[in-house]
Structure 1
Amino acid sequence: MEKFLSEERIDKATEEELLEMKLWIYKESQRLEQEQRIVDTKVAEIEDEMNKFRQKFQFERSQFEHDKQKFKDDQALFDQQIEILKDGFDKLNADRKKIEREWKKLEQERGFLREDEYSRAEFFFQGVNSLLALKKRYRDLMKIYHPDNMCGDHRVCDMINEEYNILLRQFDSYMKA
């Protein structure tokens, strides 16, 4: 339809050519309207997809915030449970120490240790629970309190020897039993 493009041709066109131009313009406008409807449909589809994407994004964001808050709540609960467990272990440890003291008192009452032996053994040989540890503690104490040393004391050295002999006998009797 290049022949319809110039204004000179429109002015000089015959009736038949004008009718042909009108027909072409009508077809072209119909084609353009069809393309416009296709474009409008595509735009509507894209807008629908964008709205769906926004809704999905908002849903996932709210789900993320919910999960984040749940994680914080779970973390706080976990921290509380850890504190409860720590307190429980501390109480158990204190109870264990109390039971150990009561057990020693019970042993003392049953006659395994004489009262004066129990109190002095706690002083110099506190925490000794094996024969090897007893001997090592004895050597260390003798190095400190031996009368030949500057800080040595004969009376303290006698007390250490007495306690050592008592505990040594107890370990021997325990080992034989």
Structure 2
Amino acid sequence: MELSRKELAKMKEEQLKLQRELHRRERKLKFLQEDLEKREQMFKTQWALLEHELSLFAKEREEFEREIKKQQYRSRLENEKTIYKANGRINAGMYFLGVHDELSLKKRYRDLLKLFHPDSMNGDVDAMQAINSEYTKLKKKYEEM
């Protein structure tokens, strides 16, 4: 059962072919694995960048929404100031509408102080005096409760 030289040579040649093919496929696999690792790293980097930018955007959006609310509040107070200052009289009670307890009274008073204090840009001495008077009345009322 000896193999002939031709058969033996043919088998060796086929073995070499298979080894070359195996070696070629191993190199290709290694290249693909390295490429995959690079792509994964690039994806992670880009993902981190997107998350960072998204968090910055969310913070900016929150700040923008806070600023809009401030402007709306100031605008509303300014409109009320204009409406209730008609005929030289200020109805300070209107500034405290919706206040039902001492805590909300203090908060509203602080907000009104910021807006109408004579040292501020839109300061109004008359309005401030009327607001102080109304605040004192309401504070006594809530303290008695």
TM-score by length of 1: 0.51
Query: How many Å separate the matches in 1 of 2:23 and 2:84?
Result: 90
Structure 1 residue 29: deviation in Å? 2.8
The match for 1:108 is 84
The match for 1:76 is 52
Matched-pair identity in %: 11
The match for 1:44 is 20
Structure 1 residue 120: deviation in Å? 3.0
The match for 1:127 is 98
**Mapping 1:1-16, distance limit 5 Å:** none
Query: How many Å separate the matches in 2 of 1:93 and 1:122?
Result: 18
Q: Which amino acid aligns with 1:98?
A: R
The match for 1:10 is none
The match for 1:16 is none
The match for 2:71 is 95
User: Which deviations, in whole Å up to 9, do the C-alpha atoms of 1:78-103 show, x marking residues without a partner?
Assistant: 11011011101111111111111111
Structure 1 residue 72: deviation in Å? 0.8
User: Which deviations, in whole Å up to 9, do the C-alpha atoms of 1:38-60 show, x marking residues without a partner?
Assistant: 01111110110111111011112
Does residue 65 in structure 1 map to residue 41 in structure 2? yes
Structure 1 residue 71: deviation in Å? 1.0
If asked which structure has higher relative contact order (CA below 8 Å, sep 6+), I would say 2
Query: How many Å separate the matches in 2 of 1:110 and 1:121?
Result: 13
| Residue segments in structure 1 that go unaligned for 5+ positions in a row | 2-24, 129-136, 138-155, 161-177
User: Which deviations, in whole Å up to 9, do the C-alpha atoms of 1:22-75 show, x marking residues without a partner?
Assistant: xxx7x7233212101101111110110111111011112211110111011011
The match for 2:5 is 29
Which of 30, 46, 50 is matched with 1:54 structurally? 30
Count of paired positions: 104
Structure 1 segments, 4+ long, off by >6 Å, are none
Query: How many Å separate the matches in 1 of 2:94 and 2:46?
Result: 57
| Residue segments in structure 2 that go unaligned for 5+ positions in a row | 101-136
